[in-house]
């Protein structure tokens, strides 16, 4: 069988680097051919965090970061091809999510902004690039996120089984897959996952994250702090809904702190915040779910996974690796799949998830070198 090769690029809310995956869609299920992860240089990550948190970002800096990120994405593609011993001619397209800088799908003029210039990717690699996936859904009245539930449904739906796919990235989101093929998929962002945990760990451990949740596991949950955090209006909003660093960030956390709380106990409380907000969302909107498939970087947080298992029993909670796809590469694979949908003139959004008026073909196509 002839291969049908796409590359997916993903850099999420955690802003830790770029995931690149080479996927073959020729068979009944996508086949991962090669993967590559490139961490962001510290200076680049600091600049991205700065512009994403700034009330009025410097336009010159933002425009330069757009180009700089495009160069990094292109370098990832080239490294992936080199390590997999593939040529550019074999790849039909690159699907690039871009780096989200601001997500504001509300108000009179809703918007979302992802940077990482696809013109640079297409020009440097010579491969057609599909990018800017989210804004067409917003133009159609949707939230522009989450977009991965359509891929989750294509990959993980099984007749007769009610499944929830839980992505633990910077933000946690769920895709609820019904037992019948003709029922709408639902899903939404439940709230913070790694974004607060990583930020607090970076401040107090001088580390990018709390490895395996070990630091949090040694702390005590602060009930009053947890109550205040869970009282945020976002958790009570009905879907469709989506969120990001604009809401859940360290300044948001600091507004709830007295300054006397032990740092380790705050970390334990943040882990409990993620676990409880995820579990409440699943209990409220997927009460009949009997299988929870977990992907994203949070799978590597053993303390968080143990807490989710306890809160969600008797449902079975397991890594997507048990279902045939490594949890680290699910989102990058999703954007390779979305690029394929775009080139085949098929919708990539699910109105039942995003709230859009109708299914739409997502993204812009930037041709490769002829």
Distance CA 41, CA 17 (A): 8
What integer best gives the mean pLDDT of the chain?
96
CA 175 to chain centre: 12
Residues 59 and 206 occupy one common structural domain = no
Assess whether 276 and 340 both reside in one domain. Answer: no
The residue-averaged pLDDT of 340-366 equals 97
* pLDDT over 70 (residue 39): yes
| 75 prior amide bond cis, ω within 30 | no
Residues 10-27: pLDDT tens digits? 999 989 999 999 999 999
pLDDT at 188 over 90: yes
* Together in a domain, 29 and 139: yes
Within this chain, do residues 179 and 208 fall inside the same structural domain, yes or no?
yes
Summarised one tens digit per residue, pLDDT across range 89-112 is 999 999 999 999 999 999 999 999
Round to whole Å and give the CA distance between 69 and 115. 7
Q: What is the reported pTM? A: 0.96
Instruction: Say what the pLDDT of residue 370 is.
Output: 77
Model confidence at 180, pLDDT cuts 50, 70, 90, reads: confident
Residue 182: the pLDDT is 66
Q: How many CB atoms lie within 10 A of CB 281?
A: 23
Q: State how beta strands 163-168 and 171-177 pair.
A: antiparallel
Same-domain pairing of 228 and 348 = no
Q: Which helix (DSSP H) or strand (DSSP E) does residue 281 occupy? A: helix 263-285
Cα(131)–Cα(116) distance, integer angstroms: 9
Do both 307 and 354 map to the same domain?
Answer: no
Same domain, 313 and 337: no
Indicate which CATH number applies to the domain containing 196: 3.30.420.40
Mean pLDDT, rounded, for 209-216: 97
* HSE value, Cβ hemisphere, 13 Å, CA-based, for 260: 1
Strand 5-11 and strand 91-104: the pairing is: parallel
Domain, as residue range, for 236: 149-327
Question: Do residues 43 and 73 touch, judged by C-beta distance below 8 A?
Answer: no
Question: Does residue 262 share a domain with residue 274?
Answer: yes
Largest CA distance in the chain: 63
Domain count, the chain: 2
Q: How far apart are CA 94 and CA 274, in angstroms?
A: 32
Task: State whether 288 and 161 are in the same domain.
Answer: yes
User: For position 6, what pLDDT does the model report?
Assistant: 98
Q: Are residues 173 and 313 in the same domain?
A: yes
Least confidently predicted of 74-78, 85-89, 175-179, 182-186: 182-186
User: Distance between CA atoms of 153 and 196, rounded to whole angstroms?
Assistant: 28
Residue 154 in this model has a pLDDT that exceeds 90: yes
Q: Cα separation of 323 and 15, whole Å?
A: 27
pLDDT at 72: 98
């Amino acid at each position: 069988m002839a291969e049908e090769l796409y590359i997916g690029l993903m850099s999420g809310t955690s802003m830790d680097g770029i995931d690149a995956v080479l996927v073959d869609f020729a068979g009944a299920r996508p086949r991962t051919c090669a993967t590559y992860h490139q961490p962001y240089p510290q200076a680049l990550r600091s600049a991205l965090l700065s512009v994403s948190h700034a009330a009025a970002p410097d336009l010159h800096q933002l425009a330069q970061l757009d180009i700089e990120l495009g160069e990094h994405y292109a370098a990832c593609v080239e490294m992936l091809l080199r390590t997999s011993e593939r040529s550019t001619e074999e790849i039909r397209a690159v699907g690039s999510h871009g780096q989200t800088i601001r997500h504001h799908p509300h108000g009179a003029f809703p918007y979302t902004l992802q940077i990482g210039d696809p013109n640079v990717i297409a020009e440097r690699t010579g491969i057609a690039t599909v990018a800017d996936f989210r804004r067409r859904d917003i133009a159609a009245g949707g939230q522009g996120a989450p977009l991965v539930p359509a891929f989750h449904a294509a990959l993980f739906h099984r007749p007769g089984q009610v499944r929830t796919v839980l992505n633990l990235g910077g933000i946690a989101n769920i895709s609820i897959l019904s037992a019948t093929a003709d029922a709408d998929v639902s899903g939404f962002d439940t709230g913070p996952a790694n974004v607060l945990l990583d930020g607090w760990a970076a401040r107090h451990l001088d580390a990018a994250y709390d490895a395996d949740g070990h630091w949090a596991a040694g702390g005590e949950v602060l009930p009053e702090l947890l109550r205040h955090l869970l009282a945020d209006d976002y958790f009570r909003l009905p879907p469709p809904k989506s969120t990001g660093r604009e809401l859940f960030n360290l300044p948001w956390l600091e507004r709830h702190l007295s300054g006397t709380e032990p740092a380790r106990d705050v970390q334990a409380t943040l882990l409990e915040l993620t676990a409880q907000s995820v579990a409440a969302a699943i209990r409220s909107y997927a009460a009949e779910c009997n299988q929870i498939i977990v992907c994203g970087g949070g799978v590597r947080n053993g303390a968080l996974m143990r807490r989710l298992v306890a809160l969600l029993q008797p449902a079975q909670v397991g890594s997507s690796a048990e279902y045939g796809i490594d949890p680290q590469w699910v989102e990058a694979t999703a954007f390779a799949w979305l690029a394929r949908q775009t080139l085949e003139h098929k919708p990539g959004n699910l109105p039942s998830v995003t709230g859009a008026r109708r299914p739409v073909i997502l993204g812009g196509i930037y041709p490769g070198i002829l």
